[in-house]
Amino acid sequence: MIESVQFGSATIVFRLEFSDRKTLGITVTPDMEVIVRAPVDASMEAIREKVRKRAPWILKQQSQFLAYFPKTQVRKYVSGETHLYMGRQFRLLVTIGPVESVKLKGKFLEVVASDMTKVKGLVKNWYLEHAKEKFPLIASPLIERFKRYKVEPSALVLREMSTRWGSCTPKGKIILNPELIKAPKACIEYVIIHELCHLVHHDHTQKFMDLQTKEMKDWVRWKSKLEKLLA
């Protein structure tokens, strides 16, 4: 059942589920869907009033998830185009040749391709290989820190994701988006810490936020930097 309430200029749409429970619960999913689970005898008036009272928290959660979504940039992969690596800008310099390669040289990301249709794939593979090399090195000391909370990821893997920078599975596997290799080291640390915090607190509760702040006091700065850098 889909319902909605008005809170100022915002309309909060939520999916209402009735079940055999004593209290009303509200969840905001990473897809920004609001789910309200209510006792079978709860009145619609009481449910809507509860949602209105929690509206600031709901909107804050949705805002956090929205800001956490990667933005897609349209790239042509031609000489002169700006590309990022570890927070620094490099100019793409493409040449055609029989021995394909990608390397950083000064302020340039030099690509040798057998033809122009190969440039995008070569650059993406270069980013992926560097992400595979850098992410474990950045994550290692952070994982060691979190052992004080008796948690440790079961694995650290890379996977292209259209709507997330990182995620954590119920079994403790941390998944990172290879696109993060374009961001500064501190931004990568922020995403890893965010997911490590989920090993301790699975939802975005106040305890989760407190732990994230404890482990990275300036996380808001780097979260904002990540959003702007790859926007």
Tell me what pLDDT residue 230 has.
Answer: 65
End-to-end C-alpha distance for the chain, whole angstroms: 35
Query: Which pLDDT tens digit goes with each residue over 91-133?
Result: 999 999 999 999 999 999 999 999 999 999 999 999 999 999 9
Q: Above 60 in pLDDT, residue 231? A: no
Domain limits of the chain? 2-67, 121-229
Tell me what pLDDT residue 89 has.
Answer: 92
Tell me what pLDDT residue 227 has.
Answer: 78
Tell me what pLDDT residue 73 has.
Answer: 65
How much is the mean pLDDT over the chain? 90
Query: H-type helices in the chain, by residue range?
Result: 44-53, 55-67, 119-146, 185-200, 206-215, 219-229
Cα–Cα dist 117/121, whole Å: 8
pTM of the predicted model as reported, rounded to 2 decimal places = 0.71
Q: Which CATH superfamily is domain 121-229 in?
A: Metalloproteases ("zincins"), catalytic domain (3.30.2010.10)
